[in-house]
Amino acid sequence: MTAAPTTPPLPRRLVAELTGSALLAAVVIGSGIMATSLTTDVGVQLLINAVATAFGLTVLILVFGPVGGAHFNPAVTLAIAATRGLDWRDAPAYITAQIAGCATGAVLANLMFAEPAISVSTTDRVASNTLVAEVVAAAGLVLVILALVRSQRLALVAPAVGAYIGSAYFFTASTSFANPAITIGRMLSDTFAGIAPTSAPGFIAAQLVGAALGLTLAVLLYPRRVDVIEEPRSEAGAGSDTGSASTPAAVEPGVRAAPPR
């Protein structure tokens, strides 16, 4: 009754990745500039930055996800390609679009706030503890995405990633960059959210290590590709006429065998 799903053509997906990445960088950098213009309380500044990013990122994933996947992040693209969610041959173009997008978004944020179009950040952020924090931040991000994808809960990716980043702004000492493309974009704005170019390589390396760690953990926890898990089963039990005889016991977790693919 419904036709088979088809993947949009690559150029359209790249437009989505580029535009989405640009808007993500504009949200992160722009709300940082706004925050410092409004208050001198750094707690309130980072709260503004985090709330704007959490809300904005959720919306961007909703808008661009169905077109290009809404990775906006080379570490995520690599992890998804590694789990066969993206053709490896498309990865270089995705990553190029993400970096170009984040750089464009940094310029857009600068212009919206009457800053020079490009100003190289002088904020040194590398320390042993912030690098540990970036490993944790990226591992968590990749784990969240892959856990939801591998358990067929795609509709939850957008709010969960937004909430995760909103939280990680505070529980990681690095304020959770967790994204090589946006790390590059943030080099181009000497404002609240900026990062000095000398700090970028360390951050990016830590993010890639974290992504590998998150990927490993996700595969360990969800070894099979297509599990169907408690939440949808609950809805199925209430809203469908399957009359399932296999209602699970309370919250004791369960998985079903993957449907034939």
Among 96, 202, 205, 248, interactor with its own copies by CB under 8 A: 248
Among 65, 120, 126, 204, interactor with its own copies by CB under 8 A: 65
Among 92, 116, 124, 154, interactor with its own copies by CB under 8 A: 154
Q: CA 98, CA 125: separation in Å to the nearest integer?
A: 22
CA distances for 208 relative to 21, 24, 45, 220, 228, angstroms: 18, 20, 28, 18, 29
Q: Which is nearer to its own copies, 113 or 202 (CB)?
A: 113
Q: Per CB under 8 A, which of residues 175..214 are in contact with its own copies?
A: none
CB of 87 to its own copies, least distance (A): 8
Position 117 contacts its own copies (CB under 8 A):
no
Binding segment (CB under 8 A) for its own copies, from list 10-18, 95-103, 183-191, 203-211: 10-18
Binding segment (CB under 8 A) for its own copies, from list 41-49, 91-99, 116-124, 197-205: 41-49
CB of 80 to its own copies, least distance (A): 6
CB of 165 to its own copies, least distance (A): 9
Among 26, 95, 106, 126, interactor with its own copies by CB under 8 A: 26
DSSP, res 251:
T
Position 157 contacts its own copies (CB under 8 A):
yes
Number of residues lying near its own copies (CB under 8 A) = 135
Position 89 contacts its own copies (CB under 8 A):
no
> For the residues of 197-233, what is the DSSP string, one character each?
TTTHHHHHHHHHHHHHHHHHHHHHHS-SS----HHHH
Q: Which is nearer to its own copies, 46 or 197 (CB)?
A: 46
Position 53 contacts its own copies (CB under 8 A):
yes
Q: Which residues contact 4 (CB under 8 A, 6 or more apart)?
A: none
Cβ atoms of 131 and 208 closer than 8 Å? no
Position 118 contacts its own copies (CB under 8 A):
no
Q: CA 151, CA 84: separation in Å to the nearest integer?
A: 15
DSSP, res 156:
G
Among 18, 97, 102, 147, interactor with its own copies by CB under 8 A: 147
CB of 207 to its own copies, least distance (A): 15
Among 18, 21, 69, 200, interactor with its own copies by CB under 8 A: 69
Position 45 contacts its own copies (CB under 8 A):
yes
Cβ atoms of 207 and 177 closer than 8 Å? yes
Q: Is 37 exposed, middle or buried (0-12, 13-18, 19+ CB in 10 A)?
A: exposed
Closest CA to 101 of 139, 67, 74: 74
- Half-sphere exposure of 57 toward its Cβ, with a 13 Å CA cutoff? 27
Position 171 contacts its own copies (CB under 8 A):
yes
Cβ atoms of 146 and 218 closer than 8 Å? yes
In the block, residue with structure tokens 């996947």: 69
